[in-house]
Amino acid sequence: MLTVTGKKTKDDDVFVSFANGMLSVLHKEQGSALIAWPYKDVLHATYIKARDPKWDTSLASPPDGLDVGGVLRTSKNWFVLQNHDSYLVLRLSDANYARVIELVESRAGIKVTRPQDSAKN
């Protein structure tokens, strides 16, 4: 998960949990809940394999020009969840991104947007 402060980010290892009508993000080491959204609060989700994440700018979102890493970045599995008040930027592993997308679509009842990457590696 990316924690965003201004345009700078910090990458934290997290677990994503789907239980009791909630999408929860738990800190991997501490086990504490960082975010807990009822499924109905997830209004938009965007997945892209690219150097930078994408999102719907009409909802709560990170600032333009978000700094997600160094100069020699490679494509990653970016997954951004949004509602009116907040957003969540996840970098998913190759092993689990498809399952997370499937769970968000089925539990939140939304279709994940998959824009084309304009800067493929």
Sorted by sequence, the CB contacts under 8 Å of residue 62 that are 6+ apart come out as 2, 4, 53, 55, 87, 89
9 phi/psi in degrees, rounded to 5: -130, 155
Q: What is the pTM of this model?
A: 0.89
Which amino acid would we find at residue 61? S
- 59 half-sphere exposure, CB direction, 13 A CA radius: 18
Q: What is the pLDDT of residue 102?
A: 96
pLDDT tens digits for range 99-117: 999 999 999 999 999 998 5
109, 39 Cβ separation under 8 angstroms: yes
Q: Which structural domains are found in the chain, ordered by start? A: 2-108 (2.30.29)
pLDDT tens digits for range 70-92: 666 788 999 999 999 999 999 99
